[in-house]
Amino acid sequence: MKSTMNWKSKRAESALKVVASRNLTIFLCIGFFCAGMLLTDRMWTVPEAKSISRTTQVDDQKPKDVKSESKDILGEVSRKDHAIQTLDKTISNLEMELAAARALQDSIMSGSPITQDLNIPELTKKRKYLMVIGINTAFSSRKRRDSVRATWMPQGDKLKKLEEEKGIVIRFVIGHSATSGGILDRAIEAEEKMHGDFLRLEHVEGYLELSAKTKSYFTTAIALWDADFYVKVDDDVHVNIGALAATLARHRSTPRVYIGCMKSGPVLAQKGVRYHEPEHWKFGEDGNRYFRHATGQLYAISKDLATYISINRHILHKYANEDVTLGSWFIGLDVEHIDDRKLCCGTPPDCELKAQAGNICVASFDWSCSGICKSVERIKEVHSRCGEGENALWSAIF
């Protein structure tokens, strides 16, 4: 009986402890809740007071602060826009260089080097050049080449000095004859030993193959020389190298630039006429005109565009006319077309009058002949009357 009472007593004490514990817990919860509400109310109240004070200040100084904030916003937008453009250019350059490296690696791994004289040690020793000038020539044009050598193209040690000091490479560009190793090829090889100013292409020469030759030239040139610009010029055109270099140097900051005398001639559908376009139907109805493109006597493209041609050389379409073909390759690209009429001056008196006025022409030729008419006989006269002078080239800083 006593033990039963003791057990009941202990149970009652235990129940009281549980109740007390629950009451204490509830009391503590209520206390913490109230304290939290008090603290939260204080934290909300302080910023609101500051906000009211700040709003009052803004109202008092509104005209001044709005102008200041507008300037800050415009400045920030300008800085961000500049940063985005710089980043875009950097990414573009890296993508093009990576693609070029992959294309070159694929060419070497497949056992098909871009040019006969190309080898891996040369690729690892590249220096940076301003421009590579490729003078388009033919097997039958020996006299034209000699007339160019005698006028605007430096020879011997001066040609090497031009590369080393000015970063300008000049080469006559020619492929091979249909009969490999024949008399035509041997004649070029002998001329090369004498002057050392040829760039030989893996290309079979032919008038109807000028578009393919242009593609081969840019592909080979960019593999051999790392330059800002790649220039193509015909061997019956007079060029002032210093004026050309100065013109191109102004566009160094533009990643994809296509420079020349832009034109848009008619698409000639009639067979048998000069510059006939067999694929005239691609350009719409009869009488339509071509898209804007540089005339073929002289034009220049930036490194990114030459790289693009090299990478995509196997799928780029060729039209009958070389200048149209080049222009078509850039139609769907983000390219800046620059129409510079200094690159297509007429022969004297046109270029002479411009030279006397201090506006030296980059290139001179006759439109009626698509080059200097009778260039072998007349290029010396053009050079003497329209040339920039030898000192202009060597004293210029690009």
Instruction: Evaluate if residue 113 carries a pLDDT over 50.
Output: no
Instruction: Evaluate if residue 301 carries a pLDDT over 50.
Output: yes
Helices (H) and strands (E) in the chain, counts: 13, 9
Cβ proximity of 307 and 342 under 8 Å: no
CA distance 179 to 206: 12
Q: Calculate the CA dihedral of residues 365, 369, 370, 375 and round it to 10 degrees.
A: -50
User: For 117-144, how does the pLDDT look when each residue is reduced to its tens digit (9 = 90+)?
Assistant: 444 334 445 789 999 999 999 999 999 9
Higher pLDDT, 100 or 166: 166
CA distance 59 to 371: 73
Higher pLDDT, 153 or 95: 153
Structure tokens given for 215: 């593609």
3-class SS at 66?
helix
What pLDDT score was predicted for residue 267?
A: 87
User: For 335-349, how does the pLDDT look when each residue is reduced to its tens digit (9 = 90+)?
Assistant: 999 999 999 999 999
Task: Calculate the alpha carbon distances from 341 to 201, 230, 257 in Å.
Answer: 30, 18, 16
Average pLDDT score over the chain: 81
What pLDDT score was predicted for residue 37?
A: 57
User: For 217-241, how does the pLDDT look when each residue is reduced to its tens digit (9 = 90+)?
Assistant: 999 999 999 999 999 999 999 999 9
What pLDDT score was predicted for residue 273?
A: 82
Largest CA distance in the chain: 145
H or E element in which residue 378 lies: helix 375-386
What pLDDT score was predicted for residue 71?
A: 59
Phi, psi of 226 (to 5 degrees): -95, 100
Instruction: Evaluate if residue 60 carries a pLDDT over 90.
Output: no
User: For 9-42, how does the pLDDT look when each residue is reduced to its tens digit (9 = 90+)?
Assistant: 545 455 445 444 555 555 555 665 555 555 444 4
> Domains in the chain, start-ordered, CATH in brackets?
128-343 (3.90.550)
Task: Calculate the alpha carbon distances from 170 to 81, 129, 239, 312 in Å.
Answer: 39, 11, 12, 25
Instruction: Evaluate if residue 52 carries a pLDDT over 60.
Output: no
What pLDDT score was predicted for residue 78?
A: 62
Instruction: Evaluate if residue 163 carries a pLDDT over 50.
Output: yes
**pLDDT band, residue 271 (cuts 50/70/90):** confident
Higher pLDDT, 256 or 47: 256
Comparing 50-64, 65-79, 273-287, 381-395, the range with the smallest average pLDDT is 50-64
Q: Which amino acid is at 291?
A: F
